[in-house]
Structures are given as structure tokens and as C-alpha cells.
């Protein structure tokens, strides 16, 4: 699989024929808390050829608030951070411990965010690192992650909790279980266990059996 890092993005856009008029769609994003506010690593999809081959492009952004974070991503892509295709948001432990109520409300209020996107908590490694792990089947990592979560939810191995259900539960201050993502020994992402949220903040973890 071809990988393209964020520092190459400004070179990629003109070479690939992408411009402000043809934005790169966001497939997934990883969010974390920092001393200054928030940080995000977004996975964007770039078409490598007319045959439909695609490769992930990783863009980083920072901001004192969530709105400033997305505005920074807009600036770095010339005002076109195309978030409407995003299907998964990875939450770093730094953000989970601080609380996700504001994040869920912010995403639910965005007109370009899918209410069906899924939230997953990174465990054992930073969220941005887990987002960029090689996907099985040579597919885009963020897309493969969403397909993994969808499959587990359909089988009943995970609670079916798209964004709108998560937002509603947090607004009602209900106990919430979100799936955890970790890195396997062979370097791929897998889901196992749950992060428990009480009043919007990480309260602990449960195993799959529990």
C-alpha cells in the first residue's frame, strides 16, 4: 500500500490534479487533547490513477478549541476540509479522560458530519498511530476500520452506537460503552473490549466477556 505523509500534501495536490475545486475526502480522523487544546490527524483519500487506485494521505491540525481545530484543517487544505465522508473517529486516551461530551455535541452539530459515524477509543498506543496501521486486504486503513466495526456491530459483538446515539446518551448523562482499538502483534488494528464512560468521561475498561 502506498503511504503519503502530511508534509508531502502540498506537493501531492498539484501533482495529482487535486485543487481547491476537487478536495480530498476524509475517511477517518484521530483526535487527542494537548496542553494547548486539541490535535487531529485526518486520513484523506487520494486517487493514484484513473483506474481507481487510492492511497491514504495524512494531515495534521491543531487548535485551542474544536472549531479552531477544524478551521486549521480548512486552512491547510485551502478551505476545503471535506469531512462529510468521514466514517470513524478515533479518540485518544488524553481526550477520553478529559471527556467526550463536547466532541460528540460538536460533531453532531456539524452539517458535514455523518450522524452514523462511529467513535472508537485507542488503547495501548496514540490514536494517530493506530489510525495509520496497515490494513488487511491492502485497503485504506480508516475505511477498513469502519468495515471492521460495522461487521462486529452486525454480529452483535459490539453495541450499535453511531454518533447520534452516543450524543443522545451523553446528553442524558447515561453510562456509555465504546469499543477499544489496539495494535495486534502483527501490526494491524483490532477491536477488543470497551471503554466505560460515566458522565462523559472515561471511568475504566471492560473486557469482551464482561
Residue 177: pLDDT over 90: yes
Question: pTM of the predicted model, to two decimals?
Answer: 0.85
pLDDT in tens, 96-129: 999 999 999 999 999 999 999 999 999 999 999 9
Give the closest residue to 91 by CA, choosing from 33, 149, 140: 33
In the block, cell 471527556 appears at 99
Residue 207: per-residue pLDDT: 84
Question: Are 6 and 123 spatial neighbours (Cβ–Cβ below 8 Å)?
Answer: no
- φ/ψ of 15, rounded to 5, equals -70, -30
Question: Measured at the alpha carbon of residue 31, what is the angle toward residues 18 and 115, in degrees to the nearest 5?
Answer: 75
Picking from 64, 55, 76, the residue whose alpha carbon sits closest to that of residue 9 is 76
pLDDT 10s digits, 7-29: 344 434 433 334 444 468 899 99
* 3 state SS of 147: helix
Give 132-168 pLDDT, tens digit per residue: 987 665 578 888 888 888 888 888 888 888 999 999 9
Amino acid at each position: 500500500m502506498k503511504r503519503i505523509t502530511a508534509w508531502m500534501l502540498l506537493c501531492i495536490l498539484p501533482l495529482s490534479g487535486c485543487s481547491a475545486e476537487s478536495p480530498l475526502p476524509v475517511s477517518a480522523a484521530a483526535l487527542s487533547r494537548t496542553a494547548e487544546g486539541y490535535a487531529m490527524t485526518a486520513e484523506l483519500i487520494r486517487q493514484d490513477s484513473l483506474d481507481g487506485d487510492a492511497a491514504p494521505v495524512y494531515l495534521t491540525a491543531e487548535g485551542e478549541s474544536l472549531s479552531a481545530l477544524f478551521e486549521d484543517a480548512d486552512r491547510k487544505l485551502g478551505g476545503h476540509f471535506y469531512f462529510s465522508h468521514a466514517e470513524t473517529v478515533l479518540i485518544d486516551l488524553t481526550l477520553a479522560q478529559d471527556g467526550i461530551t463536547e466532541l460528540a455535541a460538536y460533531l453532531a452539530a456539524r452539517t458535514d458530519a455523518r450522524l452514523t459515524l462511529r467513535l472508537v477509543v485507542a488503547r495501548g498506543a496514540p490514536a494517530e498511530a493506530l489510525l495509520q496501521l496497515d490494513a488487511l486486504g491492502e485497503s485504506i486503513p480508516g475505511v477498513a476500520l469502519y468495515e471492521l466495526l460495522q461487521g462486529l456491530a452486525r454480529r452483535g459483538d459490539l453495541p450499535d452506537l453511531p454518533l447520534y446515539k452516543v450524543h443522545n446518551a451523553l446528553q442524558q448523562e447515561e453510562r456509555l460503552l465504546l469499543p477499544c482499538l489496539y495494535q495486534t502483534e502483527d501490526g494491524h488494528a483490532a477491536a477488543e473490549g470497551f471503554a466505560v464512560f460515566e458522565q462523559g468521561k472515561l471511568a475504566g475498561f471492560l473486557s469482551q466477556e464482561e
